[in-house]
Amino acid sequence: MQPTLFVLLYGGGLLFWYGLLSARYTPLTAGAALLGTAFTLMLWQGYFSPQFIPVLVFVAGLALSLKIVQQPIWQVVGWTLYILMVLALGFHLFPQLRPVPLFAATGTDTVPMVWFSPEKVLLMWLVPTMVLVPWASRQREHRSNSEKPRMLFVGVLAATLATLIPLAMAMDYIRPGITAVPLPALLYSLAYNLMFVCILEESFFRGILQNAFIRGFNRIGLRYAAALGIVAAAVLFGLAHFAGGATYVWLAAVAGIGYGTAYYLTQRLHYAVLIHFIVNAVHQIGFAAPTG
């Protein structure tokens, strides 16, 4: 086990998550610093090549330029490059980055049980921060009426689960059954899912792509631009899960419509993240029976 790296990653991830979704820059900065320390430790241990550093500097500079330079041509070119780089990181296309073993199945460091991808740290820096400012602004606008977003969240969550569970069972993708995974491993999996999967995917697919689709559709005068934007982002979200097979793509796309609807109706990213997390947790805990 690597306790120092574990504390840096999950302590940093928790602070980063809290700072992002509460629009507080102190914990956000502290979390980013801890994640940066973890990434440096991975470099020191040889889990990624120093040859990747110029790529990191390029992507970070690209993200910063998109915040500063507002010329339309650069926004189009820059966002295209940025999205391609994020997708390349998400699909582990950089051979200079190697997974890091965090836990060992036998209690030693020789048989790794849990691996952590360095790409997750980079994506935590590069993706959620791109949607922090506009999301925080919308949060302040809606703060005077906090009950309505909560009610919308509950309604969308119920509708999403009521749609996904029967559909997944009908497609023989899940079956009811309580998980037999040991509690420590389950808790680790849930924490990883929340901090390094849900927040990243929702920031990218909803906070960036869905907003871009809706703005674009509105600009060209399409009717139902919001609905089309939600569906378009959901379709791409489903396609991003192609490694799980055709059924998984369809189910992920349907789930993405629920996540996108929650974000659009509440204008609060954390509700999309929470629905995403709850869906994944219900799957992991309550539908663990084998299929087929």
pLDDT at 136: 46
Q: Label the pairing between strands 100-104 and 112-116.
A: antiparallel
Of the candidates 256, 255, 251, 242, the residue with the CA atom closest to the CA atom of residue 291: 251
Query: Running along the chain, 292 residues long, what does each successive block of 10 average in pLDDT?
Result: 86 88 83 92 88 90 90 92 93 90 59 76 87 54 64 96 96 93 87 92 94 93 94 97 94 98 92 96 90 68
pLDDT at 104: 61
pLDDT at 172: 93
pLDDT at 144: 46
pLDDT at 131: 80
pLDDT at 137: 46
Give CA–CA dist 219/212, Å, rounded. Answer: 10
Interacting residues of 265 by C-beta distance below 8 A, sequence separation 6+: 149, 152, 156
